[in-house]
Chains A and B, each alone.
Chain A
C-alpha cells in the first residue's frame, strides 16, 4: 500500500543580539578578535563570579516579542541547561525554560501566493557557547571562548510549515525582521543567525505528529532547504519500508548534501533544567513595554503596504526593495530628490544598482554610490540630458570612482544630443549613405527602421536622443514618399 506523506516542520532560530557587551558580563561581543581575548572570568565560569544581566539584551528580546504580537512575561526567569562540552566552561548554559521572556505571537509568510500564519511558541534569552575548532591540531581540539556569553534569542516555532520552501520563507521573514528591528546583524556566515530544523512525516490528512528528527546548526538558507529536503526523502524511505524513524539529532553535511546521526548527543539530551540561583526573576514593567513600543521602527510588512499604496509600485518590485532595510531606506532617500515617476526610480534601483551590487558582491548596505548622487543621475536621465545607455556607463564609473554624475558628465563629455537641427543632419547623412536600404524600406522592408536608428546613434557616438531620432526619422521617411 502506498501512503502519501505530509512533512511537518518546525524551526528553532538562534539570533545573536547586537549588544556591545555580553549578556552576563562586560566583555566585548565583537566578531573576529584574537582567540580568548574577549572571554572574561564570568564567561570562563571561574569560581566566585556572578552573572549580571544586560539591559539592552532584555530590551531587544522584548522588541522582537512586540513585533510578532507576542506576550511579554512580566516576571521571566533564567534556568540552567546542564550538559558537558568543552566550549561550555560552566557545565551549563544559562537559558530560559519555564516562563521565557516572550511567548506566543506569529508571522505571516507567503506560501504559494497565499498568506499563511506561522505560530511562534516562544522566544527565550540565553547565552551562546564558545567555539570548538577540530581541524587546527591533529590530536587535539582548540577552544575559543570569545563567543561564550554572547546574547541570543532562540525563537521556537510551532510545527506549522509543510515544506522546505515554507521553512525558508519563514526563516527569511525572521531574518529580515530582526534587521529592521536592528537587534541582529543577520550575518549568517559569522553565525549571527542560524537555525535547527525539526522534521517529521505523517500520513496526509492525519492530525497526529510523527516521530521527528532535529537537524542542527544550519547557517544558510540554501542548507536549510537542502537539509530538510534530504531529511524528508530519508524519512519517506524509512517509513515506506515499514520501519520507524528514530528520534535523534542529526547533522547536515553540505559537501555530501546529506544528514547523519550525531550519536554523541543522545546521552546528553537530558538537560536537567532548574532555575539559576545566581539570577533573580526579571521584572518587566508596563512602562518599559510602552516605551519600547513607542520606539518601534516601521516593520517590513507595514513598509511593504505603504510602498505599494504611497508609490503605486507592484508587489514584486516592493518585495525586492524591502528585502533589505538599507535598500528600502536608500530608495526613500532617492525618491525625495527626484522629479520623475517613482516607478522609474524603482526600476533603475532594481535592474541597475542591484545588478552592480551583485556583480561586485557588495551588500546593499555598502553600495558606494550615495542616494543623493544616484538621484542626480536619475534626474539627468529624466531631463533627457543623458540617454539611458549613457547613464549605465556613468553609473559604473560612479561606482568605481565615487565621483558625482555631473563630474563624470563634464569630464568625459557625456551628454545627449537633443538639438533637432543636429539630429536632422545626422539622419540625412545616414539615409544618404544607405540609400539602397532606404529603397528596400520603401518597398516594404519595415524591419530596416531599427537599423537606421542604430546607425544614427552610432554616427552620434551614442549621444543622440533616441526618441528624437525616431521622431525625425519617421517624418523623413514619410516625407520622401
Chain B
C-alpha cells in the first residue's frame, strides 16, 4: 500500500483526502491488509466460500406493483428539482 494507491482509491470512492492525512490512511490500511494476510494463512481449501455471513437463502417476492407515487415528498429532500426532474450540474460525456 502506497500513497498513490490510497489517492487513487479515495478518488474512485469520491472521498476528499487531505494530503496531510494520506500517511495515516496508508498506515491504517496496511494494518488491515496484514490482518487479511493473517486470515489468508488459514487453510480453507476444504470449505465452500461464503458470499454472506448468514447461512440463509434469498427470499423472493411476487411481481406486484404496490408503490404509490411519492415524488413530491422525495423531492422535498432534493437540493434542486424542476418539472418533476432532479436537477444536477451539467454532465456531458
Which residues does A use to contact B, with CB under 8 Å?
Answer: 19-21, 25-28, 34-41, 44, 46, 52-58, 77, 82, 84-86, 91, 98-99, 132-134, 136-137, 139-145, 251, 262, 264-265, 267-268, 270, 272, 275, 277, 279-283
Count how many pairs of residues, one from A and one from B, have CB atoms less than 8 Å apart in the complex.
Answer: 134
Which of B11, B14, B83, B86: most chain A CB closer than 10 A? B86
Q: How large is the interface on B (under 10, 10 to 19, 20 to 34, 35 or more residues)?
A: 35 or more
The CA-CA distance from A146 to B19 in the complex, in Å, is: 40
Which of A53, A136, A140, A279: most chain B CB closer than 10 A? A140
If A21-B64, A26-B65, A41-B74 touch, does A140 touch B86 (CB 8 Å cutoff)?
Answer: no
Q: Could you tell me if B58 and A279 are in contact, using CB atoms closer than 8 angstroms?
A: yes
Set of chain A residues within 8 Å of B52, measured between Cβ atoms: 77, 275, 277, 279-281
Set of chain A residues within 8 Å of B66, measured between Cβ atoms: 21, 26
Q: Could you tell me if A77 and B51 are in contact, using CB atoms closer than 8 angstroms?
A: yes
The distance from the CB of B12 to the nearest CB of chain A, in whole angstroms, is: 6
Query: Which secondary structure characterizes the binding site on chain A?
Result: loop
The distance from the CB of B52 to the nearest CB of chain A, in whole angstroms, is: 5
Set of chain A residues within 8 Å of B87, measured between Cβ atoms: 137, 140-143
The CA-CA distance from A262 to B90 in the complex, in Å, is: 16
The distance from the CB of A218 to the nearest CB of chain B, in whole angstroms, is: 15
If A143-B87, A143-B88, A262-B93 touch, does A37 touch B69 (CB 8 Å cutoff)?
Answer: yes
Which of B61, B63, B69, B91: most chain A CB closer than 10 A? B63
Q: Could you tell me if B57 and A281 are in contact, using CB atoms closer than 8 angstroms?
A: yes
Set of chain B residues within 8 Å of A82, measured between Cβ atoms: 12-13
Q: Mark B41-72, 1 if CB is under 8 A from A, else 0.
A: 00000000001101011111111111101110
The CA-CA distance from A56 to B71 in the complex, in Å, is: 26
Q: Does B23 contact A (CB under 8 A)?
A: no
Told that A28-B65, A53-B61 touch, could you supply 18 new A-B pairs with CB distance under 8 A?
A26-B64, A26-B66, A37-B69, A54-B63, A82-B12, A86-B91, A134-B90, A134-B91, A141-B89, A143-B87, A143-B88, A144-B84, A145-B86, A267-B11, A267-B12, A272-B12, A275-B51, A281-B52
The distance from the CB of A420 to the nearest CB of chain B, in whole angstroms, is: 65
Q: Could you tell me if A143 and B86 are in contact, using CB atoms closer than 8 angstroms?
A: yes
Set of chain B residues within 8 Å of A28, measured between Cβ atoms: 65, 67
